[in-house]
Amino acid sequence: MNNILVTGSKGQLGSELRIISPSYKYNFFFTDKESLDISQSALIKEFVELNNINTIVNCAAYTAVDKAEEDEVNADKINHIAVKNLVEIAKEKNIKLVHISTDYVYDGKNYKPYTEDDITNPNGVYGKTKLDGERAMLDINPLNSIIIRTSWVYSSFGANFVKTMLRLGKERDSLGVIFDQVGTPTYAKDLAKAILDIIPRIDNTRVKIYNYSNEGVLSWYDFAKEIMRMAKIDCQINPIETKEYPTPAKRPHYSLLNKSKIKEEFSILIPYWKDSLDRCLKIMGERK
């Protein structure tokens, strides 16, 4: 039996993994920061040994991008130190590890979709700490372990752009949404399914990095427009520039991810972003 430890199980991706888990013949252990503090190496080791864990899916992350600018210690604790702890245990116990990273490791100045080999250059604390976690994993190099970089994650669980737009769209007559940041959303349920589908096929001696998001390309403005259209919310969406909506952390202007590697190596099909948004809104009861 494949005993899978899922960290950060109350987040968007962790919650989606829990929902689809009955469809897979794995034995899951869903944990959060209350049930397993992954910043404490001894606690991880004890949990792994007690439950005979042979696969870890690390969904735990400090994702408050703006807050991280003033809270680097805690962001580093979760995005770097805790990852290092998991990686060390994975190597010692020969455990397969899937670690989730982010498009924020890139600086967003590309002119074509980012590949896994493109130069990383994070703009802020969140991206830097996530990249430090990646580097710890690459340096320690446990067998059969991968990093998946993803972008613009949303779900029917947790706080995200889709939920924010639905709420604000019902409260206001018009909204200004940024049009000069371009990328692709990732429906967490699609990523969760991809992870569980590829786990049996992960077989490598060096840590590999993969990109994953839904298919297509759009701006946040386009995303908001489609959310309102599908939900039939009468709210005017107006395009604004990034400079009109300043934030503590700098966002990448371009974070389109090239997914050729993960599609080819694992023979997976990735849904188009509009199809995934449609499915998510139906689950939320918001598709009209």
Q: Which residues are catalytic?
A: 126
96 in Cβ contact with 199 (< 8 Å): yes
Contacts 24+ apart (CB under 8 A), 38-42: 38/7, 38/78, 38/82, 38/85, 38/86, 39/77, 39/78, 39/81, 39/82, 39/85, 40/85, 41/85, 41/88, 41/89
Residue among 98, 129, 136, 102 nearest 6 (CA): 98
Q: List the structure tokens of 241.
A: 């520039």
SS3 218: strand
